[in-house]
Structure 1
Amino acid sequence: MNALGPEPAPAEGARLDVLRSNLTAVEQRIAAACAAAGRPRSDVTLIVVTKTYPAADTRLLSALGVTDVAENRDQDAAPKAEECKNLPLLWHFVGQLQTNKVRSVLKYADRVHSVDRTRLVSALSAEVGKTGRPVLGCLVQVALEGDPAATRGGALPADVPALAEALAAAPGLRLDGVMAVAPLTGPFAGDPVRAFDRLAEISSLLRREHPAATMVSAGMSGDLEAAVAAGATHVRVGTAVLGVRPPLG
């Protein structure tokens, strides 16, 4: 026993050491990227993507000072969030969200990054109204591929203004900004610098009408530097912190 509670079991202690080392490396990368871009480190929030990893890892991350975690599948996230409900964490939902999952997701999510259609806006707003929960922060997911049918979701850039207007006007919802994933197809495939520069342009246009929508969620383990250079305020990092993911069930 120490001042912080029981000593971790050997396996847990080893995992804690791995996570601490990985977090340190990621923090160094973010700090270096901020310095190269002439931005203060405080400009960028690290969101650790905990998908496919157990609640035990989430608890260890919290003990190491992580404040923001993300999940992309409700069937995995809901029980994990329940198990970790007493931890001082903000939960971000970053996956494609079907309307039949909205009720479950809103039991734990503090922010949804993947709003990509007006039907989802309506479903989220209606559920917030039913539950009386606090206002839900939302991001418009942008399909930088130019074809949402061939992507992991997102609205076409041309459709972002109208979707943002609908979101901003919806009771119980707050328009926080935009989110994107570096595309694997289309004009920006394999070029995260250009992709995130395009997202920055979309964000700038959005802020003309919605000045408070300042959040730009972009960048993952392999391309966080390009995202920070383009002005990302939040980077979503999983593998670089938690290791190579086990296969999805």
Structure 2
Amino acid sequence: MMMNLFSSFDPTTNYNTSLNWMSTLIGMILIPNMFWLIPSRYKMLWLKVIFKLHMEFKILTNTNQSQGSTLIFISLFMFILFNNFLGLFPYIFTSTSHMSMTLSLALPLWLSFMLYGWINNTTHMLAHLVPQGTPPILMSFMVCIETISNLIRPGTLAIRLSANMIAGHLLMTLLGNTGSLMSIYMMNFLIIIQILLLILESAVSMIQSYVFAVLSTLYSSEIN
């Protein structure tokens, strides 16, 4: 039973094709041509979202020197959001539920932040290991804690995203498998629950992409 549940996240089980990872690019196909040709309502709405994210990420980075750096995190937010939403459609491979996908996003970002910070702002990075106001007797202990917390950051980013995607899909799969055993009256109740879960998963998809981008922005702000 467990193998059947988790087989929906296996790239080799969906129609036995090796093109399942291509679902990460389907989002570009779904964008209508009108979005690119004329300033349609879709484009104006999306520009408002991008501008709002730019202003928020600009505040979080605490710097005015490289204003274009916020576009990296906006692109990251858009990419994760598209893939999270695509995973809610039937027969579409959920790429963000795999650690190979989430780690490939989190690890290069964290590694680039760490390398840049330790090479260019070594004193500032060392000061981060001891929070302000720490008693002298606890300084060595706090250095160990802060070092461990820095090392597990890419793992926590990746696990948070993939675990939230897997949990919602597994719950919907579990409830869907019990549909054939229910009466017609309970089936109507099950459909209502599934619709509510789908709405919840849509909110989780937006929240998790936003959390991933915001935490990446906060990590980058610590190296300045």
TM bracket, shorter-chain basis: under 0.3
| Structure with larger RCO (C-alpha < 8 A, sep 6+) | 2
**What's the TM-score once normalised by structure 2's chain length?**
0.26
Which of 1 and 2 has greater Rg?
A: 2
